[in-house]
Amino acid sequence: HIPKLEFMQSVVPSIAASGPVSQWSADVTEHAHITQVKEPARAGNNKDYEAQIVRHLDMHSRLRSFDLMTCMKESKVDLRVVEESLPDDEARCTLLSSSAQLVAHLTSGSKFGGAKRRKADLFYRSLSVAQNPNALLPHRTFTDSSGCTAFHLVRDPDQKTLNLDHAAALFHLPDFVGSLRDYLDRFSEGRETFTVGGRRGGGLNSNLPFSQIKVWSKVVLQGRQYFNADLVTDPYTILALPPDEKWVYGRQDCAIINVDPSECWPRSSMNGHSVVAVKMIFTVSQPKKPARPIPGTHQFLAYCERFDVVAQEPPPPEYAHLPLFNAWNNHSPDYFTGCYVLKRARRSNGEPFGDIIPLTQFRALADLIPHFRNKADRRLSSFTSFHLKDEFFFNKYFDHEIYHTL
């Protein structure tokens, strides 16, 4: 009689009863089944499973309430005070009218339960790195100019000196050299924000002021919370690995990038932003001193491939007022899943649209789920589905911050 939570994704009556489940894979519900059902059952005496599980959940609920009350007590929050009852000498009190204001006002107290380790704050670390005159350049921990996102890379690259042609062959990027030429041309024109797309201007044999790059396999991103910009989100790792025996097409994650500096993530939602696949993370090997760094290259860059939004039927008029349908101007999500449908952008010759994007334009990790439709493909596996499919769901359920943003 113990509820099998992951069956919500596979049993037809459960799917119909629960509606869109908060993940297209069973990862979330399987984890909840372990922590909320299996572990309490194993800690008991093999009797009255349901009653013991209910007591376990009730205990955790009481602990969370105790933590919240402790924080409110330390922050001197008085829920009995209202605006009409404030005397003149207490007019300096701060009135809170929403849960978001309450959370922002609370001071973090010591938790009675849960994780004891503090969350890493890359924004704070970037300040220390920026003030260190001996820090490596470009800085391994830094933020973008708007302060929306913090980045961290390990000290040493995975590929210290890689020839441009070798890098293009290793990552299967035939237009890598041409994209570098286009990036330098756009930078010399004074462009500060870069996009993926447009006609390829520089030829594959164009001369470049450098011949080698340094390649990193991953970057860690951290943003600010949707309801309280003073609090940071959990850090996420974006991978960009070349093909190998197991991952025959390479292993790459997707990211949300900013293409309009007037829009600030996450409050802007997807307006002024785009979704890309991160194929390579690198920086240019600079000439030795006293030569000056090559303009536009003394920073971390990424080769990215673009995804376009697939047009969907607009929602019924009675639902048009919901925030979900205003998250991305001129675009509507899939009505049944609530997720945007994305398609890999391709050139006229069938090659994906790829360009160089500064890492400082990255804003968050994007989770894409292949849109399989009705016909199964025997070639698809966990290692190949991302590269053999062109149409994807933009999963807003894998993270609660992304859920609120979208």
**Model pLDDT for residues 259-271, shown as the tens digit of each residue:** 999 999 998 888 9
Nearest by Cα to 272 from 365, 185, 363: 363
* Mean pLDDT in residue range 263-282: 93
One-letter amino acid of 150: A
Q: Is the pLDDT score of 343 beyond 90?
A: yes
The pLDDT of residue 82 is 61
> Using one digit for the tens of pLDDT, what is the confidence trace for 25-83?
566 667 777 887 788 778 778 778 778 888 888 988 898 888 888 888 777 777 666 65
DSSP reduced 3-state for 163: strand
DSSP reduced 3-state for 206: coil
The pLDDT of residue 353 is 92
Distance (Å, whole) CA 51 – CA 262 = 54
Nearest by Cα to 278 from 198, 205, 363, 340: 363
> Using one digit for the tens of pLDDT, what is the confidence trace for 119-130?
889 999 999 999
**Higher local confidence (pLDDT), 25 or 158:** 158
**Higher local confidence (pLDDT), 118 or 156:** 156
> Using one digit for the tens of pLDDT, what is the confidence trace for 283-339?
999 988 888 889 999 999 999 999 999 988 776 777 666 655 566 667 778 877 778
Confidence of residue 23 (pLDDT cuts 50, 70, 90): very low
Tokens of 360: 């400082």
Q: Is the pLDDT score of 7 beyond 90?
A: no
Distance (Å, whole) CA 114 – CA 134 = 38
Distance (Å, whole) CA 336 – CA 127 = 44
Nearest by Cα to 353 from 178, 169, 139: 178
One-letter amino acid of 318: E
Cβ-based neighbours of 266, under 8 Å, separated by 6 or more: 148, 223, 224, 226, 363, 364, 401, 404, 405
Are 282 and 265 spatial neighbours (Cβ–Cβ below 8 Å)?
A: no
DSSP reduced 3-state for 200: coil
Residue-averaged pLDDT of the chain: 83
- In our burial notation (b when 16+ CB lie closer than 10 A, e otherwise), range 261-275 reads eebbbbebbbbbbbb
The pLDDT of residue 1 is 46
**Confidence (pTM):** 0.76
Cross-strand pairs, 150: 143, 222
* Mean pLDDT in residue range 101-114: 63
One-letter amino acid of 337: T
| Exposed/middle/buried for residue 401 (C-beta within 10 Å: 0-12, 13-18, 19+) | middle
Confidence of residue 273 (pLDDT cuts 50, 70, 90): very high
**Higher local confidence (pLDDT), 235 or 71:** 235
Distance (Å, whole) CA 226 – CA 251 = 29
The CA R_g of the chain, rounded to the nearest whole Å, is: 25
Q: Is the pLDDT score of 276 beyond 90?
A: yes
Tokens of 278: 């991160």
In the sheet with 218-222, reading across from the earlier edge strand, the strands are: 141-143, 150-152, 218-222, 236-241, 251-252
Distance (Å, whole) CA 70 – CA 206 = 64
Q: What is the DSSP string of 281-328?
A: EEEE-PPPTTSPPPTTTSS-EEEEEEEEEPP-PPPPGGGTTSGGGGSS
Among 139-153, 226-240, 373-387, the minimum mean pLDDT is found in 373-387
The label of the residue with tokens 């911050």 reads 401
Q: Is the pLDDT score of 203 beyond 60?
A: no
C-alpha separations of 78 from 94, 108, 227 in Å: 10, 17, 22
Confidence of residue 172 (pLDDT cuts 50, 70, 90): very high
Residues in the chain: 406
Distance (Å, whole) CA 19 – CA 310 = 23
The pLDDT of residue 254 is 96
Q: Is the pLDDT score of 108 beyond 80?
A: no
Confidence of residue 242 (pLDDT cuts 50, 70, 90): very high
Distance (Å, whole) CA 42 – CA 58 = 17
The pLDDT of residue 35 is 80
Nearest by Cα to 355 from 277, 271, 243: 277
Distance (Å, whole) CA 44 – CA 55 = 11
